[in-house]
C-alpha cells in the first residue's frame, strides 16, 4: 500500500492534525491511517494483521516525509513539536514584572536520534540547576522574601538523596533512625522502622527546592493541599472536610491570582482562535490558487478522492 502524495491528501492530513491540535488531542499514525481509510483514500483490511502492519509502517514514513515529528513516549506514537520553555515571572506591586531564568530547549536525544518529549530531560536534576539560576537572578534584581508557588510535579517534590526510602535494607533504616534521633530497640520489623521514619520525614524533611528557597530567604510551597493528603483509605467525607478547610484558608491575594491567571488564559485562547481563523482564510485562498493551476490529471484524481 502506498499513500498518495498529492496536494489534496497532504491538505487533508494537515487539516486533520490541526483540528485535533486545536482541542489538544494527540494524533498517532494509526489515527491518520484510519482517517484516510474512512475518506476512501486508502484501502486497508484491518483484520489482516500483516497488511495492517505494513500499512502502518508506510503511514509512518509518509508522516515523517511530510515533516511531522514523532514524540517517543513509552507505549505511544505521537507526532508533535518537542520544544518547550521554562521561566519565572515575579509578581510584585513595587517592581515591573519580567521574565527570569528563561530556558528554551528541545527534549533529549533518544537512541533513534529523534527528539523526544521534554520530560525526557526535564527531571529533578535539571530543575534544581534551573531553580538555582532563578534564585541568582532574583538576588541580582533585589527580590527578597518572595513566595514561590510550585505545582505538584514530581521534580518539585524530590527529597535529598540521603533521605531513606522504604526499599532500603533494615540496617540502613536503623542507621537513619539513629541519625534522626528516633528511639528504637533494634528488634523492630522493617515495616515498623519505616512507619516511624515515614512520619519523621513527612514532618521534618523538606524537598530540595523548598530548602534552596529557604536558604535564600524565600518561601516555596507546593500546590495541592487537598491532593497531597490523599491515601488509599481516603473517603468522600474526608475529601469534603479537606476541601472546606482549603477554601477557608484561601487568602484574598490567592483568589486575585487565580482570577488573573484565568484572564490571561482567556486572552491567549482568544489570540489562538484569531490566529486559526487567519490561517484558515489564508489556506482557502491558497487552495483556490492551487486548484486553478493544477493540470487535468491531478484534478481528475482529486475528484475521485472527494
pLDDT attached to residue 178: 92
**CB-neighbour burial class of residue 71 (10 A; exposed 0-12, middle 13-18, buried 19+):** buried
Read off the pTM: 0.45
Which spans in the chain are helix H? 7-22, 29-38, 49-65, 124-140, 154-157, 170-180, 190-204, 208-215, 236-248, 252-293, 296-305
Radius of gyration of the chain (CA): 27
Residue pair 17/39 in contact by the 8 Å Cβ criterion? no
**In the chain, which stretches have pLDDT less than 70?**
71-85, 104-120, 221-236, 239-240, 243-244, 246-247, 250, 254-255, 280-306
The two beta strands, 147-150 and 76-79, are unpaired
Give the domain ranges of the chain. Answer: 1-80, 224-306
55-112 pLDDT, tens per residue?
999 999 999 888 887 765 454 444 444 456 677 777 777 777 777 888 766 555 554 5
Amino acid at each position: 500500500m502506498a499513500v498518495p502524495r498529492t496536494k489534496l491528501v497532504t491538505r487533508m492530513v494537515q487539516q486533520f492534525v490541526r483540528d485535533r491540535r486545536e482541542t489538544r488531542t494527540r494524533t498517532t499514525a494509526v489515527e491518520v491511517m484510519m482517517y484516510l481509510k474512512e475518506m476512501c483514500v486508502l484501502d486497508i483490511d484491518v483484520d489482516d494483521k500483516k497488511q495492517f502492519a505494513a500499512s502502518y509502517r508506510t503511514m509512518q514514513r509518509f508522516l515523517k516525509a511530510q515533516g511531522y515529528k514523532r514524540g517517543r513516549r513509552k507505549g505511544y506514537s505521537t507526532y508533535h513539536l518537542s520544544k518547550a520553555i521554562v521561566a519565572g515571572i515575579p509578581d510584585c506591586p513595587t517592581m515591573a514584572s519580567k521574565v527570569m531564568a528563561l530556558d528554551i530547549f528541545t527534549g533529549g536525544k533518544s537512541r533513534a536520534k529523534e527528539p523526544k518529549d521534554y520530560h525526557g530531560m526535564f527531571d529533578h536534576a535539571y530543575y534544581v540547576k534551573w531553580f538555582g539560576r532563578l534564585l541568582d537572578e532574583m538576588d541580582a534584581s533585589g527580590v527578597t522574601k518572595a513566595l514561590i508557588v510550585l505545582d505538584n510535579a514530581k521534580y518539585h517534590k524530590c527529597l535529598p538523596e540521603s533521605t531513606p526510602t522504604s526499599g532500603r535494607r533494615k540496617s540502613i533504616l536503623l542507621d537513619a533512625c539513629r541519625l534522626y534521633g528516633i528511639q528504637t530497640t533494634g528488634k523492630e520489623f522493617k515495616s515498623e522502622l519505616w512507619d516511624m521514619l515515614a512520619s519523621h520525614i513527612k514532618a521534618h524533611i523538606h524537598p530540595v527546592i523548598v530548602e534552596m528557597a529557604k536558604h535564600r530567604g524565600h518561601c516555596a510551597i507546593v500546590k495541592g493541599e487537598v491532593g497531597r493528603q490523599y491515601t488509599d483509605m481516603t473517603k468522600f467525607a474526608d475529601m469534603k472536610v479537606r476541601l472546606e478547610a482549603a477554601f477557608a484558608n484561601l487568602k484574598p491575594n490567592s483568589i486575585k491570582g487565580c482570577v488573573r491567571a484565568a484572564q490571561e488564559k482567556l486572552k491567549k485562547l482568544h489570540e489562538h482562535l484569531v490566529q486559526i481563523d487567519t490561517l484558515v482564510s489564508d489556506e482557502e485562498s491558497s487552495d483556490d490558487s492551487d486548484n486553478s493551476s493544477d493540470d487535468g490529471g491531478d484534478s481528475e484524481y482529486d475528484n475521485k478522492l472527494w
